[in-house]
Amino acid sequence: MIRVIQWGLGAMGSGMAKLILEKDGLQLVGAIDTRPEYAGKDVGSVLGLGRELGVEVQATPDGLLDPDVADIVVIATTSWTAQQMPQLRQILGSGLNCISIAEEMASPEAQSPELATELDQLAKANNVSVLGTGVNPGFVLDLLVVTLSGVCHKVDRIEASRVNDLSPYGPTVMATQGVGITPEAFKEGVANGTIVGHVGFPESIRMISDALGLGVDRVVETREPIVSKVLREAAHVTVQPGMVAGCKHIAVGYAGDKAVVKLVHPQQVHPHLEGQSTGDYINIYGTPDIVMSTGPEIAGGIATQGLAVNMVPHVVQASPGLKNMLDLPAPAALMGASAYRRRV
Ligand code: NAD
């Protein structure tokens, strides 16, 4: 049994905790979240399972971060490496392995090389490993792209896009994507940094470029409003015609003057109301050309929970240090004993 602590019990973390409980080879030994309403409650009641599990939700990690208590922490608290560093230092410094779903942790060297070096050294000093994963970055627009390129004799350029539906998400996502506001307010939000679009493009492009040796030396990102022609109503927002339904975020990775990787992520509420299907699309222009498409989109929340939990045995068995999704065995659903014993 691999003993797991779940740190962060929000939309993602609570789904991960439930999934950990379903897996024969994993044992949930601790849960941490600062929400006052969770303090001291049994994790079974916080997850709405209707049964007690004998594991209390703690606001702090006191007493949990100990190799005698746990093997690994799965953390789902924020998107940003710098913001998560205090927790990551505590986890690795205590001799526990770690999986983070913070988008920037998919490849922290992309934007914070000094933090990536610190994490790598801290993990090695404590004989543990740390991985960033999630649906995107961590899977659709990087690992899948790289894996598909594995059959190619040569690659000229890559273009991939993920078209998704934001309507299940909450107010924070609506605000950071600029949903429901005027196109002018959207442009102001992009300029002042309150509208961020997708977090993770520099990380995905870094992973692709490093894996293939494409030599990307700069990434240029653009964020444009998706202006709705029709009324779109979601749980947390109403978009009038003429207002913004989402953010079309594009990132292009250049090697010198040549655009070698283009990633496109138009995120909006109810794209079907204007005839737009959701899906994931990867085009590799090379020998041979590769065209992959899935529809509808690979479900983001479920997929992130799945990846974080399915990677647990690989991270526990990995050599010490900072890892990304390309360093470890391909993710696979943990369905039986052999899935826990893959070669690393
Ligand atoms: P959420 O806001 O629903 O949950 C976050 C939880 O963490 C909250 O319950 C909060 O109380 C808790 N928390 C925050 N800081 C804490 C701390 N220091 N100690 C203890 N608890 C703390 O968010 P979510 O939807 O669960 O997503 C979590 C993060 O993962 C987000 O930043 C999201 O963008 C990211 N994410 C990444 C991917 C990916 O593909 N890589 C996919 C989904 C989500």
Going by pLDDT thresholds of 50, 70 and 90, the confidence category of residue 235 is: confident
- Which phi and psi (to 5°) does residue 294 adopt? -125, 150
pLDDT at 335: 97
If residue 169 lies in a helix (H) or strand (E), which one and from where to where? none
CA of 191 to the centre of ligand 1 (A): 25
Residues 261 and 215 in one domain: yes
Residues 268 and 284 in one domain: yes
Kindly tell me the burial class for residue 147, based on how many C-beta atoms sit within 10 Å of its own C-beta (0-12, 13-18, 19 or more).
Answer: middle
CA of 76 to the centre of ligand 1 (A): 4
Residues 294 and 147 in one domain: yes
Q: Which atom of ligand 1 is nearest to the CA of 80?
A: 32
Q: What is the dihedral of CA 39, 64, 43, 18, to 10 degrees?
A: 140
CA of 102 to the centre of ligand 1 (A): 8
Residues 155 and 292 in one domain: yes
3-state SS record for 170-199 = CHHHHHHHCCCCCHHHHHHHHHHCCCCCCC
Q: Is the CB of 240 under 6 A from ligand 1?
A: no
Mean pLDDT of the chain: 97
Q: Which domain holds residue 262?
A: 143-298
Residues 160 and 210 in one domain: yes
Q: Is the CB of 90 under 6 A from ligand 1?
A: no
DSSP letter at 247 equals: E
User: CA torsion sign, 162 to 168 to 171 to 172?
Assistant: negative
Residues 112 and 29 in one domain: yes
Going by pLDDT thresholds of 50, 70 and 90, the confidence category of residue 270 is: very high
Pocket test for ligand 1, best of 101, 198, 309 (most atoms within 8 A of CB): 101
Name which residue sits closest to atom 12 of ligand 1, judged by CA.
8
Name which residue sits closest to atom 41 of ligand 1, judged by CA.
134
What's the pLDDT tens digit per position in 67-99? Answer: 999 999 999 999 999 999 999 999 999 999 999
pLDDT at 173: 87
Q: Is the CB of 104 under 6 A from ligand 1?
A: no
Q: What percent of the chain has a predicted confidence (pLDDT) above 70?
A: 100
CA of 276 to the centre of ligand 1 (A): 29
DSSP letter at 331 equals: P
Q: Is the CB of 15 under 6 A from ligand 1?
A: no
Q: Is the CB of 245 under 6 A from ligand 1?
A: no
Q: What is the average per-residue pLDDT within 113-132?
A: 98
Q: Does the structure show a pLDDT above 90 at 250? A: yes
End-to-end CA distance of the chain: 18
Supply the pTM of this predicted model. Answer: 0.96
Residues 171 and 284 in one domain: yes
pLDDT at 168: 84
What's the pLDDT tens digit per position in 321-333? Answer: 999 999 999 999 9
Residues 203 and 244 in one domain: yes
What's the pLDDT tens digit per position in 312-321? Answer: 999 999 999 9
What's the pLDDT tens digit per position in 160-189? Answer: 999 999 998 888 889 999 999 999 999 999
Q: Does the structure show a pLDDT above 80 at 146? A: yes
Q: Does the structure show a pLDDT above 90 at 29? A: yes
Give the other-Cβ count within 10 Å of 237's Cβ. 23
Q: Which atom of ligand 1 is nearest to the CA of 132?
A: 41
Q: What is the average per-residue pLDDT within 6-25?
A: 96
Q: Is the CB of 103 under 6 A from ligand 1?
A: yes
- Overall domain count for the chain: 2
Peptide bond into 331 cis (omega under 30): no
Residues 66 and 192 in one domain: no
CA of 183 to the centre of ligand 1 (A): 28
Give the other-Cβ count within 10 Å of 190's Cβ. 19
Q: What percent of the chain has a predicted confidence (pLDDT) above 90?
A: 96
CATH number of 314's domain: 3.40.50.720
Pocket test for ligand 1, best of 9, 16, 33, 169 (most atoms within 8 A of CB): 33
Residues 165 and 102 in one domain: no
Q: Is the CB of 142 under 6 A from ligand 1?
A: no
pLDDT at 287: 98
Note whether 158 and 283 are within 8 A (CB): yes
Cα 7 versus chain centre, distance: 15
pLDDT at 224: 98
Residues 115 and 203 in one domain: no
Residues 254 and 323 in one domain: no
CA of 120 to the centre of ligand 1 (A): 23
